[in-house]
């Protein structure tokens, strides 16, 4: 199975290195990476403008967005939902196994 290496730095300075397994029918891994970066930046931009958001509220909004986008796929709803669930399960497994490096700590 092909993997997409992805590194992200959180707002708190944590560096997360993830190896995302790609679906067998992935057409363009580079574009997938670009989309992930774009989505994360959009979230950061919104939080910067509108203020902090509760993590639970943020995850709920992302879940709703995934559901909406899944519903927009022209296929049987149950089939689209299963694909989305499988992809989410795989991605969550990858983040569970990610390499985390904590950002700098201390006081000035």
- Percent of the chain residues past pLDDT 70, beyond the cut: 95
- Largest Cα separation within the chain, whole Å, is 57
Say how far apart CA 20 and CA 1 lie, in whole Å.
10
The whole-number pLDDT of residue 1 equals 85
Band (28; pLDDT cuts 50, 70, 90)? very high
How far is residue 93 CA from its own chain's centroid?
A: 12
The structural domains of the chain, with segments of one domain joined by +, span 3-101
Q: To the nearest whole number, what is the mean pLDDT of the chain?
A: 93
Q: Does residue 108 surpass a pLDDT of 80?
A: no
Q: Does residue 107 surpass a pLDDT of 70?
A: no
Q: Does residue 64 surpass a pLDDT of 70?
A: yes
Q: Does residue 11 surpass a pLDDT of 90?
A: no
Q: Does residue 99 surpass a pLDDT of 70?
A: yes
Q: How far is CA 36 from CA 41, 85, 91, in A?
A: 9, 17, 12
Read off the pLDDT of each residue in 34-48 and give the average, rounded to a whole number: 95
């Amino acid at each position: 199975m092909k993997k997409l290496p992805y590194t992200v730095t959180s707002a708190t300075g944590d560096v997360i290195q993830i190896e995302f397994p790609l679906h067998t029918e992935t057409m363009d891994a580079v574009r997938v990476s670009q989309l992930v970066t774009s989505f994360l930046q959009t979230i950061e931009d919104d939080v910067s403008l509108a203020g902090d958001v509760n993590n639970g509220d943020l995850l709920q909004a992302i879940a709703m967005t995934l559901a909406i986008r899944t519903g927009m796929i022209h296929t049987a709803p149950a089939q689209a939902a299963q694909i989305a669930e499988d992809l989410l399960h795989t991605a969550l497994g990858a983040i569970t196994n990610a390499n985390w490096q904590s950002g700098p700590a201390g006081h000035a």
